[in-house]
Structure 1
Amino acid sequence: MTLSYASGISAVPLLGETIGANLDRTVAAFADRDALVERASGRRWTYDRFADDVDAVALGLHGLGVAKGDRVGIWSPNCAEWMLVQYATAKLGAILVNINPAYRVHELEFVLNQAGIRTLVATPAFKTSDYAAMVEEVAPRCPALADVLLIGTGGWDALLAAGRAGDRGVLAGIGAGLSADDPINIQYTSGTTGFPKGATLSHHNILNNGFFVGELCGYDEEDRVCVPVPFYHCFGMVMGNLAATSHGACVVIPAPAFDPGATLEAVAAERCTSLYGVPTMFIAMLNEPSLDGLDLSGLRTGIMAGSPCPVEVMKQVIERLGMTEVAICYGMTETSPVSTQTRAGDSLDRRVSTVGTVHPHLEVKVVDPATGVTVPRGTPGEFCTRGYSVMLGYWDEPAKTAEAIDAARWMRTGDLAVMDEHGYLTITGRIKDMVIRGGENVYPREIEEFLYTHPDIVDAQVIGVPDEKYGEELMAWVRLRDGADALTAEALREFCAGRLAHFKIPRYVHVVDEFPMTVTGKVRKVQMRAEAVDILGLGDTAADRHT
């Protein structure tokens, strides 16, 4: 019997340096090559110019008194300044705190105080969000907050001017006192109940994870990586920015927030070789009217991650976008984030139906959720990971850290997985999303994959809702292709009949234009379940189940 355990063997060693030192090495090797392109403004940076601006921001922050260990918040959609602040804080040893652009006053105040943010960099406004006004409202209630810098205003310009006039030798001295194991980043996990927790990550955590994501994507200085996913999350700032800069590749920012047309235009205009996105982003791009008229022949690879990747969508990404080497990555914020990844040499079947194998220098296992004992291969259980990527802990919350990371430093993910005989892993859902219908364990992911084969369904999510007879019943939320006829529950049941076990066939169907989502592209099933109770009039049943 082979157990569901695997370790990532690699001939390429881990990087033992800080993010700042790694950037300096890249600049020395590729000074004249493109480092960053911001499509919205038309601005471009070579590595040489990028390094100069990073140093200017770092020295400007240093002049304000920002020092090693201080928390610097960044609250903005994707822009060049976000990336400059990311690397500038790393050079100072300050801890960058990523603030979700969707946050409002209550959440902003919580993060500013929970992390003890000293300096906040923010965009003044974006779309309907008046960031400056919200900061002004909460600032009196945030005693640690000393400085607020609004991008594009006089304060930001003054910071840059002061930094450009500063002594670069100061940064060299600061760098000499930094360790790769120092905390460098706090990312707040998307809390579905209560307040989010701040996953605290080191240089070693995120630099290596970004580097090995890039290694497995085959990056070098010729690559141009289109990053429409948010920088505030690991997908953008680690798998995007750090993967690129650790290989001398170029980051292309297609727009401040995801726009399918702008993303595809950026890929074509900048001859991007790699494109990132969560499944819903790729679905939007595949349905973009301008797609067929664009030359995307430069695309070679990319990453689909953030939530389970539908098989049919993955196949279309390979066929219609030409991303023949596209990878699936699996991970979580607390693990920097990637734990497994498909490889370019993997068969199409493995790249569309698994999340790949263990990442270099990491360990993974699948355990019985109740006992923690590693299960045999082919047996479902909870996915756990261990290694350099596991966070230092939740900021200022040792009890919650101990709940997530055991004494042997294994991170328990809360995800259900199966490891096959060759070490490939399939994520079958969240433990908390599993539906128990009349004593049968039902995994929504299996049903969702089947629903994608319906000719009119472009996206599907399955949840459990309260039921007096069975305890829980299945409800499918679906998005339909343009022009499709209305889909009834009866019609969907007919489609499933004889192809799914009777207890896996959804009783209810709800057609939507979009799903409730986090900014990182994860579907909020907790919110869907709450809304479903109202939609179906199941309030009394739901109340009975909780008494």
Structure 2
Amino acid sequence: MTDSYARGATEPALIEETIGDFFDAMVAKQPDALALVSRHEGVRRSYRALQAEATQLASALLATGLVPGDRVGIWSHNNLAWVLMQIATAKAGLILVNINPAYRTAEVEYALNKVGCKALVTMPRFKTSEYLAMLRELGAARLPQLKNVWWIDRAEDADEAGFDIPLARLSQLLASGNANDARVAQVQQGLKATDPINIQFTSGTTGFPKGATLTHRNILNNGFFIGECMKLGPQDKLCIPVPMYHCFGMVLGNLACLTHGSAIVYPNDGFDPLLTLEAVQAERCTGLHGVPTMFIAELDHPRFAEFDLSSLRTGIMAGTACPIEVMKRVVSQMHLGEITIAYGMTETSPVSCQSSTDTPLERRVSTVGTVQPHLEVKVVDPESGATVPRGERGELCTRGYSVMHGYWGDEAKTREAIDAEGWMHTGDLATMDAEGYVNIVGRIKDMVIRGGENIYPREIEEFLYRHPKVQDVQVVGLPDRKYGEELCAWVIAKPGQQLTEEEIREFCKGQIAHYKVPKYIRFVTEFPMTVTGKIQKYRIREQMSVELGLVAERTA
């Protein structure tokens, strides 16, 4: 019987340039074409204008004393500043560190210190998140390597009070740069495609996030082949409501567009279904990205029928399994006949499998497509490592250009994830059919995917253990109609202590991201265990699902 192994196409060839060089070549080809529309900021940029501004920012960053290889954080939702930072840091050889805007003090302190960020570009605030206030609270003592903070400002904004880390407006930094700075070209010439250029944090199974380090070659090629899969071209406008701090927005969105001369359209800073529908209609977008919950929110919006979405053709649905009925509605009611499904992980830049625009609908919803060009995938027995026959389940492994450079500052964890032969072990259980279509059927490491956010229960458990009244805690994912999964915590209180759900939630407030705070909290005296003392999380899931009347609506 055939093994569960597949190798992608070898044409077109891999790009062996840096992001800066490839982008500059695209600008030379079509300088006046539309590159970016940021609707909430009232911003429109041609390819030439975007290049000039990004080069000016690269010049300004280098003038502050930053040198290639230094880490620069960005803590922001989607806006012009984000894409400028993405291009500018790539040109200057600086490693852009994506900080999740949902992070709170403990998380941002860990992330900035883990990779040694020397500078940070941040929104001053967003909704209830006060980013500058969090940085003030941490201060130079707790962020010893951070030398500069620039906040994303508008002309009408009042000045922000400084603190013990130098603070300035991003507009001031940009104004100090020179779009014709010869030093930028000189630095750019000295960069290699294999240089690390981006760090993204993945929730850690041991309680701390790991910094997946990606190169120009990793993400530029992945963005290119994703765009190829969607048949993008200069005539396309891609609406991107998914966040930039994930690979989804940054690679499947920005880089897929910039490698094909397409236009990027940001409907808003954070996701808003109405503003997304308005952007698609107003800009005549041909593509739309989203996780299933986003598409559901758009389809179910009371004003959905008012919008003309007939310009739509393609896009990507990813993040978690898509219910078949939702996919059918997306195709029939949103005109997305060529929407594709993508599967991947941050450590593989991210996509390793994707359906194509002409994959039959049933296959598109029941699988994650086939292997991408220049990559290999196989399904192995998690115990023996042997490749399993087609149709049998095992752990999915990926090899090729997309596999990350490594986890920043953590060789041991890198070796655990990438074996001696270069295979990245995903931790996902999968099957491969006779035609090479891959289906994700579960997860080895109990990861929870809530609305496209990857959450490792161990990280939440480690945090809750810090509560003075908590003796033990187990966190699992439960099925949820809206988000795919929600977190549930079973807590054992210390002897003689009384604990309430409110106390647990209050403990989490401001310390961990809102999506990591368990929706369901139960106080118990023991956990279900095997005879050898191993906790049976699946039994917690089963019991809670029955108790709460929850039924999984999944296709994978």
Counterparts of 1:118-157 in structure 2 under 5 Å? Answer: 118-140=118-140, 141-152=142-153, 155-157=169-171
User: Unaligned 5+ residue runs, structure 1?
Assistant: 435-443, 446-462, 464-471, 482-515
Q: Does 1:540 align with 2:526?
A: yes
Residue 10 of structure 1 and its aligned partner are, at CA, apart by 3.1
Give the TM-score, by structure 2 length. Answer: 0.80
Q: Kindly provide the amino acid, as one letter, of the partner of residue 152 in structure 2.
A: I
With structure 1 as the length reference, what TM-score do the two structures score? 0.82
> What's the offset of the Cα at 1:475?
9.5
Alignment correspondent of 2:437: 424
Kindly, what percent of the aligned residue pairs are identical? 54
- Counterpart mapping for 1:456-535 below 5 A: 477-479=479-481, 527=518, 531=520, 534=522
- Contact 2:38 2:268 (C-alpha < 8 Å) held by counterparts: yes
**2:176 alignment partner, SS class:** helix
In structure 2, relative to structure 1, the CA distance for the partners of 1:480 and 1:116 (3 Å cut) is: closer
**Residue correspondence of structure 1 range 358-507 to structure 2 within 5 A:** 358-433=371-446, 477-479=479-481
The correspondence of residues 58-69 of structure 1 with structure 2, limited to 5 A, is 58-69=58-69
Aligned-residue offset at 1:193:
4.8
Please tell me whether residue 23 in structure 1 is matched to residue 23 in structure 2.
Answer: yes
Give yes or no for contact 1:228–1:276 (8 Å, CA) kept in 2. Answer: yes
**RMSD across aligned positions (CA):** 2.6
Equivalent residue number for residue 307 of structure 1: 320
C-alpha displacement of 1:433: 4.0
Which shifted more, 350-359 or 129-138?
129-138
1:294 aligns with 2:283: no
Task: Report how far residue 480 of structure 1 moved.
Answer: 8.1
- 1:192 to partner: Cα distance: 5.6
Question: What is the CA–CA distance in structure 2 between the aligned matches of 1:410 and 1:477, rounded to whole Å?
Answer: 31
Candidates 201, 208, 216, aligned match of 1:188:
201
Q: What pairs up with 1:245-284 in 2 under 5 angstroms? A: 245-284=258-297
User: Which amino acid in 2 is paired with 1:100?
Assistant: N
Deviates more, 1:126-135 or 1:329-338: 126-135
Aligned positions of 1:333-348 closer than 5 A: 333-348=346-361
Write out per-residue CA displacement over residues 39-60 of structure 1, whole angstroms, 9 at most, x where no aligned residue. 1121110111101110111011
Say whether 1:50 aligns with 2:50.
yes
Match of 1:80 in 2: 80
Closer, same or farther: CA 226–539 of 1 in aligned 2, 3 Å: farther
Give the superposition deviation at 1:167: 3.9
CA deviation vs aligned residue, 1:330-365 (integer Å, no higher than 9, x gap): 000000000000011211111111100000000000
Kept after mapping to 1: 8 A contact 2:56/2:180: no
Shift of the alpha carbon at 1:540? 2.5
* Partner deviation per Cα, 1:73-123 (whole Å, 9 max, x = no partner): 000111110110011000010100000100111111111110100011101
Q: Could you list the runs of 4 or more consecutive aligned residues of structure 1 that deviate by over 3 angstroms after TM superposition?
A: 474-481, 521-524, 541-547
**Residue 356 (str. 1) matches residue 369 (str. 2):** yes
The separation in 2 between residues aligned to 1:136 and 1:192, in whole angstroms, is 30
In the other structure, the counterpart of 2:494 is: none
Q: Is 1:306–1:522's contact at 8 Å kept on the other side of the alignment?
A: no
Q: Give distance in 2, aligned partners of 1:77 and 1:480.
A: 22
Please name the residue that 1:159 is paired with: 173
8 A Cα contact 2:293 2:482, kept in partner:
no
CA-to-aligned-CA distance 1:499-539 (integer Å, 9 cap, x gap)? xxxxxxxxxxxxxxxxx9xxxx9987x956xx36x1xx654
Aligned mates of 1:254, 1:192 — CA distance in 2: 34
Native 8 Å contact 2:38 2:44 kept in 1: yes
The 1:359/1:293 distance shift into structure 2, 3 A limit, reads same
Q: 1:433 to 1:311 in 2, by over 3 A?
A: farther
Structure 2, gaps ≥5 residues long: 154-158, 160-167, 450-456, 458-473, 484-507, 536-556
| Mapped partners of 2:481, 2:256: distance in 1 | 33
Aligned residues of 1:187 and 1:233 also touching (Cα < 8 A):
yes
SS of the equivalent of 2:200 reads strand
Does the CA contact (< 8 Å) of 1:6 and 1:363 recur in 2? yes
Q: Which residue of 2 aligns with 1:507?
A: none
Q: Higher relative contact order at CA 8 Å, sep ≥6: structure 1 or structure 2?
A: 2
CA offsets 1:101-155 (integer angstroms, 9 cap, x no match): 0011111111111010001110111111111111122231111111111111663
Deviation of the 1:432 alpha carbon:
3.5
The 1:543/1:429 distance shift into structure 2, 3 A limit, reads closer
Q: Which amino acid in the other structure matches residue 143 of structure 1? A: P
Aligned mates of 1:170, 1:269 — CA distance in 2: 40
Secondary structure at the aligned position of 1:112 is classed as helix
Q: Answer yes or no: is the 8 Å Cα contact 1:307–1:522 preserved in 2.
A: no
Q: Structure 1 275/410 Cα, relative in aligned 2: closer, same or farther at 3 Å? A: same
1:228-287 CA distance string (max 9 Å, x none): 111001000011000000111010011111111111111111111110011111111111
SS of 1:326's equivalent in the other structure is: strand
Distance 1:178 1:76 in 2: 26
CA contact (8 A) 2:16 2:217 kept: yes
Alignment CA distance shift 1:267-1:174 (3 Å): same
Q: CA deviation at 1:542?
A: 4.3
Give the aligned length: 468
The worse-fitting range, judged by mean Cα deviation, of 344-353 and 230-239 is: 344-353
Counterpart CA distance in 2 for 1:102 and 1:317 is 28
The equivalent residue for 1:110 is 110
Between 46-55 and 183-192, the greater mean CA deviation after superposition: 183-192
CA distance in 2, matches of 1:348, 1:107: 40
- Give the Å deviation of 1:541: 3.7
Equivalents in 1 of 2:60, 2:124: separation in Å? Answer: 19
SS in 1 for 2:442: strand
1:66 CA displacement: 1.4
Change (3 A) 1:543 1:8: closer
